[in-house]
Structure 1
């Protein structure tokens, strides 16, 4: 699988999705045969905004994705009037269009017509206006693929090494887009163990065959032996012990204020974070400090299909200006192609199965 076919969804038409696809396109053709799923006229408008020499061709089949770096093939759903397109505006029809792009890409991936999906950002307000109840892509992908056990993995700077692969920092999350009080309640031994399992499989998908995983505590200093909280002793430590008994190289609970720096220094291949900001802050600090600006990749681990995404939003404030960085989109497609190749090499494509570890209540 030299160049896997990657369906690239265009995201919200009023955002920077089409622009970052245009900026990324020549580079991503080195790793994949990309097929944009969206609106051809909106993409042509982005070509003009970016002052690009690329051409856009409407196609009706994934087989037209030929990795030609001068021509962008688009599975044209013809949802948006590009002549009336208003950048930076939350609209129901834009939200509906972005949802249909994702739905079609999922259909292509589950049918085996494409090898992976990479998504440009959608706008949650717009999709809610269109009637969606999902907080973002992840829940939608899980429901459409009948997946119960999954997690968000953020990857910064993955590359091949003599031992397989390594990254600047990789983080997965026990919970993501929920209020902090609910996130604390979701720290249960079953959920932590499941996250460890899908993390292990996700790292193998990236080419890290024998990963070392650190699990962060929930409380400051991982509770200092129970002085600062009980979740570490009642929920996190039993999950880690259970995973280690099954042969996984897992450590923790580790102090959240040091474990991410340790992982970035090479001590661990990945950190399992307990909630959204605990994991996102170190990843985004590392990404924004790099020369590539926003360059991280969001991977949904645990799915039977391959899905990656840029690690930024619709950027309505700069949409239509042609200045959005394409770095994260380049990385997202390259990581999607990497995972597709590794799954093909291993001969599997199924999501990880959850371990049989009953919950003992919330931490």
Structure 2
């Protein structure tokens, strides 16, 4: 591990979920590319190391920059928020703890104490019980960094997608497909691809309706909102194409025609990514990136998996990928 490797804060997620286990299992694979520090509870991580049967120990640290990064021990910024560990249950105190981990990591990233944040999964029911108004990490990260324009990018091997809207009902998502919103997502996508090392990004823009409205036969949103946004983006020098038929544009992107697809709503973008990432069985992969923030944030693309928490069988692949993408976005990647 290089002393110049990016300092990455990994938030532990819901203590009762698989977050602590995938962090523990991923640590040996990521410690060469990054200097990872877990933001969470040391005792919970130690319990995860035990159930996974790993030869690792936990080192409590007060400051990520002061961690020793011994290959056999995991540095933990110990917030000590968990009194009793019960896996697989939705608990208010676990929701509060997982929010506290994220808050601390954001503070560190804003102040330059860490170079990037990687988040393990939280449980939205638990955070709601704890009083959170956020549907997930993204809105919280945006508010805490005073960011107005942001989006979600999902990465799975050769396929990347971004979203005009995410966690809203489908009827509402259709209303959010406006020329300005689509254009801003295209801009964010182009900038994020450059951060990922793509020198001349090509952006495919999915239509909203089947066959991108088929020339107006299946609706007018594609012609009225999406097409003008693409034209404006091209006028700004962005290599954007669309609206493209959503039933084929993701295949074209996976084959290399586009570096990313701008999706109009949550499931339109999530389904192709998760089909690729989850089709391999237990080795769930995929990375969630919040683009448009003044800090680097990536995340695993899976949930808390309460049903297998504590069994030591959860795959660490998505966590490894998330750390690697975070490193790349700091400018230190290959």
Asked whether the 8 Å contact 2:10–2:117 carries over to 1, the reply is yes
1:155 aligns with 2:139: no
Q: Shift of residue 68 of structure 1?
A: 3.1
1:65 deviates by 3.7
**Deviation, structure 1 residue 2:** 4.5
C-alpha separation between the residues in 2 aligned to 1:68 and 1:297?
A: 27
Partner residue of 1:348?
Answer: none
Residue 290 of structure 1 and its aligned partner are, at CA, apart by 4.1
Q: What CA distance in whole angstroms lies between the structure 1 residues aligned with 2:280 and 2:71?
A: 26
Aligned equivalent of 2:218: 228
* In the alignment, structure 1 residue 186 sits paired with structure 2 residue 176: yes
Contact 2:5 2:332 in 1 (8 A): no
CA RMSD of aligned residues (A): 1.4
Q: What are the Cα deviations for residues 58-87 of structure 1, in whole angstroms up to 9, with x where unaligned?
A: 110011344433110000000002xx3110
1:170 is aligned to 160
Q: Secondary structure at the match of 1:257?
A: coil
CA drift of 1:170 comes to 0.2
> Residues 242 and 66 from structure 1, CA distance in 2 versus in 1: closer, same or farther, beyond 3 angstroms?
farther
- 1:298 to 2:300 alignment: no
| 1:28 correspondence with 2:18 | no
Corresponding position: 1:58 with 2:48: no
Name the CA distance, whole Å, in 1 between partners of 2:142 and 2:168. 17
CA 1:15–1:214: 2 relative to 1, 3 Å: same
Aligned equivalents of 2:156, 2:69: Cα separation in 1: 25
Matched, 1:205 2:195: yes
**Does 1:138 find its partner at 2:138?**
yes
Deviations 1:237-288 (A, max 9, x none): 0000000011100000000000000000011100000000000000111112
The answer on whether the counterparts of 2:282 and 2:314 sit within 8 Å (CA) in structure 1 is no
* Residue aligning to 1:122: 122
1:329-344 correspondence to structure 2 within 5 Å? 329-341=319-331
Alpha-carbon distance in 1 for matches of 2:297, 2:119: 8
Question: What runs of 5+ residues in structure 1 fail to find an aligned partner?
Answer: 158-167, 346-363
* Distance change (3 Å), C-alpha of 1:287 and 1:182: same
Q: Secondary structure at the match of 1:37?
A: strand
Please say if residues 110 and 295 of structure 2, whose CA atoms lie closer than 8 Å, have aligned partners that are also in contact.
yes
Q: TM-score, normalised by structure 2?
A: 0.97
Greater mean alpha carbon deviation, residues 68-77 or residues 306-315 = 68-77
Q: Quick check: 1:328 aligned with 2:318?
A: yes
CA contact 1:292–1:327 (8 Å) conserved in 2: no
1:98 aligns with 2:98: yes
Q: Give the superposition deviation at 1:209.
A: 1.6
SS in 1 for 2:308: coil
Q: Would you say the 8 A contact 1:34–1:65 is kept in 2? A: no
How many residues were matched structurally? 332
SS at match of 1:223: helix
2: distance between equivalents of 1:242 and 1:187?
A: 15
Q: Which runs of 5+ in 2 are unaligned?
A: none
Residue deviations 1:90-127 (CA, integer Å, cap 9, x gap)? 11100000000000000000000100000000000000
TM-score w.r.t. length of structure 1: 0.89
* Mapped partners of 1:186, 1:293: distance in 2: 34
Partner SS state of residue 294, structure 1: coil
